[in-house]
Chain A
């Protein structure tokens, strides 16, 4: 039950709940759980918007150095990002800046992946045989991370 097929807006809410459940079980505090729900939400919305078909998975991790945490994986069949680095920037997609007038038509503010990277410790993209996987990891014990909105 840690895997959600993303085919509809309501699946995004299910993905949030899955992330919350795993995050809570791993030992994240209340607001960290809420932040991880944002991460799951952004990744799931992206699948809906660009990835055609995909799944979102959340699982506990236990790193020898960093300790316990959560890994949220979004796999979809859409093409890999042309430039993942560019897509991470707020107001940018993988090809460059997005005009504010396009926010409505592209259903978003082009800051989803930026939020994901701010609210997680590691963020990677892996090309798959068909499509790609975006992997966000966050550990319970923050190590020098405070890029999130908490001061």
Chain B
């Protein structure tokens, strides 16, 4: 039988040739090139042709899968980076100290106060008082529902330490429960001024200035 161009012979040479092609293609795939395709001269009805077609299909789907995996990996990396940025934001937000008026610092506290946070707060606040040359500090604890006794004590000490640095420190927004804690603990509040609300405290600091100004104008 004379082999035609369309149907190559089953000669051992031809078969070996195709197998060599397959091995080369698989080696390429192994090294990460998913664009290779085996060109088979055998029809798909022939076992070798079918094998080549099957392998081509497998390479194509492997390539797709690889691409998808890469996309997921990128997304995941982006998300992890976002989490890292958010963590940094959380760390920063845990002790926000802002200058709400000229040389008046405000430390609004929300969430849960534990010993670690109160120690960090003290450090950050005392630094801020010195670096900003603040004349007053308002510590607002409206956002705090309960406090451990020891933490409450630490808070009052923090207020006193601010006083030692030459700034006036007021506590605002103390709720009934925390007021009870402070009283039951017998914590010495001497030298620590309190105001009902942040608004009251601000008014206390800002008002005298305005009258002085008015006096000058008048």
- A interface residue numbers (CB < 8 A to B): 8-10, 12-13, 16, 30-31, 34-35, 37-38, 41-42, 45, 48-49, 90, 103-104, 107-112, 114-115, 118-119, 149-151
Contact = CB atoms under 8 A, between A and B. Distances in A.
Contact of B148 (A10, A16, A118): A118
A111 B148 contact: yes
Interface in B19-78: none
Interface of B: 86-87, 90-91, 94, 111-120, 122-123, 145-152, 154, 177-178, 180-181, 184-185
B184 A151 contact: yes
A107 B119 CA distance: 6
Which among B117, B118, B122 has the highest number of chain A CB atoms within 10 Å?
A: B117
A104 B146 contact: no
Contacts of A49: 116
B145 A34 contact: yes
Q: Tell me if A's interface is mostly helix, strand, loop or mixed.
A: helix
Contacts of B151: 109, 111, 115
Contact of A149 (B118, B122, B152): B152
B115 A9 contact: no
Contacts of A103: 119, 122
A91 to B, nearest CB: 8
Given A34-B112, A149-B184, 7 more contacts: A8-B87, A12-B114, A38-B113, A38-B147, A41-B116, A103-B119, A109-B118
